[in-house]
Amino acid sequence: MTAASTQGSVTDLEYDPLDPDVKQEPYPYYTVLRAKEPVKWLPTLQAFSVADYDNIDTLLKDGQTYSSAQFWPELLGEYDPVPEELPMISTDPPDHVKLRKLANKAFVPTKVAELKDRTYQIANELIDDIIAKHGQKGEFDWAWEFTALYPVTVIAEVLGVPTDRRGEFKVWVDLILSAANRAAYGPEKLAEIEDAKVKTRDFFEKLYDERSAKPGDDLISTLISTEVGGVTMTRSQVLSMAVVLLIGGVETTTNLLGTVLVELKRHPDVYKRVRADHSLIPALLEEVLRYNPPVQIIFRHTTKDTELGGVAIPKGSAVMPLLASANRDETKFESPDVFDIDRKIDIPLMSFGQGPHFCLGSYLSRMEARSALEVAFSRFAELDVISEEIHWIDSYFARGPHTLPVRYTAA
C-alpha cells in the first residue's frame, strides 16, 4: 500500500505547501503530483512546483535558465550580514564557477576529514552536559539539547571561532536563521535579529583581520589564502562565504539528526540492527536522507520563457523543485515509500541538490552526523523517542522535528 492510499483516494489530494496537513506529511501529496501534474502552478505561492526526478535534474543543471540570484535576498531580506556581496549559493554561472572552485579547494574532503576527532569530542562533551544535568537515566529533548547545539559547534570549530565566544555565536546564528520568517515577527524580535546581524558582521570582520595577520588552520584562514589561477577571494566574499556556511550547515544537519531518531522510532527492527552494528550507520543516514530529507524544496527563477515537462513557464517565474519528491520517484527508486537501509541506490539522491550548486557540505554533514550517532549509541544504552506523534517544524521547505523528547539510560 502506498503512503498516498493510506490517506484516502490518490486523486483527491490538492497540493498546497502552506496547508498545515501538507507540512505535517507532504509525501502522499508528492505521489499525486508525480502521477498527475509533475509541473504544476501553485496559486498560493505564485510558483511552479516540479515533482519528478528527471525534470528536477534537468532544471537544476541549467543555471542559465533557472537562476539562483533571488534565493538569498528573499531568504534573509534586510537581515543579510553581508548585503554587498551575493553569496555563492545565490550566484549564477559563470561567476558561480569561480567562487565554487575557490570554495571547493578550501573544503576538500581531506581537510574535512581532519575534523573527525573533534566531532567525536564535541558530541561527547554535549552528552556529558546532558548527563550532568539530567542524571544517569531520565528524559531530555534530543532536538534542543543535542541536535540544535552539535552542528553549530562543529561549524564554529570549522570557522575557527574561539571557544569562549561560542555561546554568543549560537544565539546570533539562530536569530539570523529566523530572518526567513521575518514577515511573521513584530518589532521586538526584528530588533533582535538586526542586532545579531550587526554583531555577526562585526565578529567576522575582526576574525578576518586576525586571521589575515596570523593565519591558523581554520577555514577562514584557508579561504583568505586560497588561490585558483592567481585569483583569491575578496574580503566581502570571505565574509559572505562564512555566513552562507552558517545558514547552510547548521539547521540542515540539526534536522537530519532529529529525523534519524524519528525514523528509528518508526522502524524498531532497523533500530535494533543499527544498535547492534554501528557500521550500518552510514546506510541508515543515506536512507533517512532519501526518505525524509531536511531540505524538501529549493528555489529558482526563470531568466527567459521556457518549457518543462510540457508546461510553458514564462520568464521571471518562481520555480520550486520538490527535492524530497524526487527521492520518492517510483521510476527511479524501487518501492520508494518503503524505508529500507539495505536498498541499493545507483543514482544520486536529490537531498543535497544537483548541478552547479550541489551542496558544498555534503561530505561534512555525513561525517558529522555519523560521528554524532556513533557517540550517542555508545554513550546511551537506551535512547528512545517517547511519543508516536511528531511535531515537525513549521516550514514548507525545511523538515525536522521541532521537539523530540527521548527517554535515556547512560551506558
Q: Name the residues that contact ligand HEM, by CB under 6 A.
A: 68, 71, 88-89, 100, 155, 244-245, 248-249, 252-253, 256, 293-295, 298, 323, 351-353, 357, 359-361, 364-365
Q: Minimum distance between the CB of residue 94 and ligand HEM, rounded to whole angstroms?
A: 13
Q: Name every residue whose Cβ is closer than 8 Å to that of residue 157 and which is 6 or more positions away in sequence.
A: 115, 118, 122
Q: Minimum distance between the CB of residue 104 and ligand HEM, rounded to whole angstroms?
A: 9
Q: Closer to ligand HEM at the Cβ: 39 or 367?
A: 367
Q: Minimum distance between the CB of residue 358 and ligand HEM, rounded to whole angstroms?
A: 7
Q: Dihedral, CA atoms, 358, 46, 197, 142, nearest 10 degrees?
A: -70
Q: Minimum distance between the CB of residue 186 and ligand HEM, rounded to whole angstroms?
A: 30
Question: Could you give the CA distance from residue 61 to residue 293 in angstroms, rounded to a whole number?
Answer: 20
Q: Return the residue nearest ligand HEM (CB atom).
A: 361
Question: Could you give the CA distance from residue 261 to residue 408 in angstroms, rounded to a whole number?
Answer: 13
Q: Closer to ligand HEM at the Cβ: 99 or 406?
A: 99
Q: Closer to ligand HEM at the Cβ: 145 or 368?
A: 368
Question: Can you say whether the dihedral through the CA atoms of 91, 94, 97, 99 is positive or negative?
Answer: negative
Are 280 and 341 in contact by the 8 Å Cβ rule? The answer is yes
Q: What are the cell numbers at 29?
A: 501529496
CA 341 to chain centre: 21
Q: Closer to ligand HEM at the Cβ: 31 or 68?
A: 68
Q: Minimum distance between the CB of residue 298 and ligand HEM, rounded to whole angstroms?
A: 4
User: How many Å from the N-terminal Cα to the C-terminal Cα in the chain?
Assistant: 39
Q: Closer to ligand HEM at the Cβ: 126 or 298?
A: 298
Q: Closer to ligand HEM at the Cβ: 238 or 244?
A: 244
Q: Minimum distance between the CB of residue 151 and ligand HEM, rounded to whole angstroms?
A: 7
Q: Minimum distance between the CB of residue 240 and ligand HEM, rounded to whole angstroms?
A: 10
Burial (CB count within 10 angstroms: exposed 0-12, middle 13-18, buried 19+), residue 88: buried
Are 15 and 33 in contact by the 8 Å Cβ rule? The answer is yes
Question: Could you give the CA distance from residue 40 to residue 47 in angstroms, rounded to a whole number?
Answer: 8
Q: Closer to ligand HEM at the Cβ: 301 or 357?
A: 357
